[in-house]
Structure 1
């Protein structure tokens, strides 16, 4: 059957159990390969979802340490049919120095596994500052946000194969981004924030995936005080969140949540 959109494709599958089998058509999430060129140098291939590509590129440049603010970008051109993004920086030679300090062109898979980011190579603890934030929010509100978040993705309902990432403030959801890779979804959220000049200092990032340390690195750079995950963090993520004053919560399901670091920002309900 023909593909229905750029996000998913219809496949015929065989449903099997110990006593029955039947054919069924299901929507399967499509992979999209995006090669990003910066100042005419190809630096990364992203396996992603064909959605919000501008925000993905912008957020990726920020979290990878290529730029610190949007004013450093001269232009971003997305050639969707070619699977390419062309970025021109205001400063022409800075990118060559960054590439020279790393392993060169990388392919980042949806698993976000062995391929390290540029930030991984260039940053150390001395480059990062602990977050200075007194933002607080009630536990009951976080739980409400998480329960709403888990029902908010139409693409997940269709394919069961996408990661979601939502940005919330004390009033509720600001916007939602989705991608086949959980790191890409975070980059899209941050790219959207940069594009629209959104202040992240009093926000909560909610993610559907597990939390490794490099995702905490993105949160530190963005100065987001609270990260809430449906899944669990790694030990390195907890240590990094503690060190840099990030509130990290996980395994948020139903009426329960695990607080792993800096729980002072989450106002617990009185036990009667």
Structure 2
């Protein structure tokens, strides 16, 4: 099946943005460059304070949808919660803008926090080192592949999906995909929040990352690369560009890193061995199909 044919009649996203949710946008009146009155939809930002059991971890600025997934994904991607930690409940209080993740036993971050409080007074300084240790220990699937026809189909399907970006802008989107099918589409004011929501969804639904493709509208920074590797997803794609450290880390982890993906065009700066060029316009000289 061709990529464009595959974009028609595709199964619905398992989870996708709801641009009609009145809690996510607000209509604001203003004036344009001619002084004429205008009304504009703008994205709503709200704080969400995250607790791990009895420990306050962070306050995130978010659009407020899927707070449970955001909290769970944040803790996993920050290495504050291990994949095998037994989560017994995730409680969200919309009035207080609080979400509490509860585990059966004390999580590793809480144990570390107590140790650090007794010494230097803060555990946050050790978080980055833990993240990078986990990053270096992660092994991505070397048999995964991305066909250029799949990429073309994914871009078409994602572009057709109604989104908050289309309605109000000022927002980032991330999509979890498998082959030429987009599965889960999340948006937020920060791309890191959108990534964490997908990480939370994957954990809750027992989804492995080894055969997945991750798409983002944001830049391919070190943070995006680290989070993708933590989710054990071997392929990261963006319509935007790269940072040097993002590329360096992708090469270090064996991650396929593709940027500037629009229409039939894209650039791959790491992990090119996973690419299969099966579209005539995308096939470089001498490449096998």
1:11 — aligned with what?
A: 28
- Is 2:188 aligned against 1:179? yes
CA shift, 1:90, in A, is 2.0
Q: Deviations over 1:220-239 (max 9, x none)?
A: 11110100011112111111
- Is 2:75 aligned against 1:67? no
CA shift, 1:130, in A, is 3.5
8 A contact 1:29–1:161 mirrored in 2? yes
Of the three residues 91, 112, 115, the one matched with 1:98 is 112
2:100 — aligned with what?
A: 86
1:208 — aligned with what?
A: 217
**Partner of 1:124: helix, strand, or coil?**
helix
Distance 2:103 2:80 in 1: 9
The CA RMSD over aligned residues, in Å, is 2.3
1:113 — aligned with what?
A: none
2:18 — aligned with what?
A: none
Cα distance, 1:230–1:224 mapped onto 2, change above 3 Å: same
**Which residues of 2 match residues 117-196 of structure 1 at below 5 A?**
119-125=127-133, 127-196=136-205
- Is 2:47 aligned against 1:47? no
Paired residues in the alignment total: 256
Distance 2:148 2:201 in 1: 26
8 A contact 1:63–1:119 mirrored in 2? no
CA shift, 1:165, in A, is 0.6
- Is 2:37 aligned against 1:23? yes
Structure 2, unpaired ranges of 5+:
1-20
Distance 2:123 2:45 in 1: 20
**Partner of 2:32: helix, strand, or coil?**
strand
Distance 1:137 1:212 in 2: 21
Distance 1:194 1:103 in 2: 31
Structure 1 length as normaliser, TM-score? 0.86
8 A contact 2:247–2:257 mirrored in 1? yes
CA shift, 1:133, in A, is 2.5
Distance 1:119 1:232 in 2: 27
2:269 — aligned with what?
A: 260
Structure 2 length as normaliser, TM-score? 0.81
Stretch moving more, 36-45 or 93-102: 93-102
**Partner of 2:187: helix, strand, or coil?**
strand
1:109 — aligned with what?
A: none
**Partner of 1:123: helix, strand, or coil?**
helix
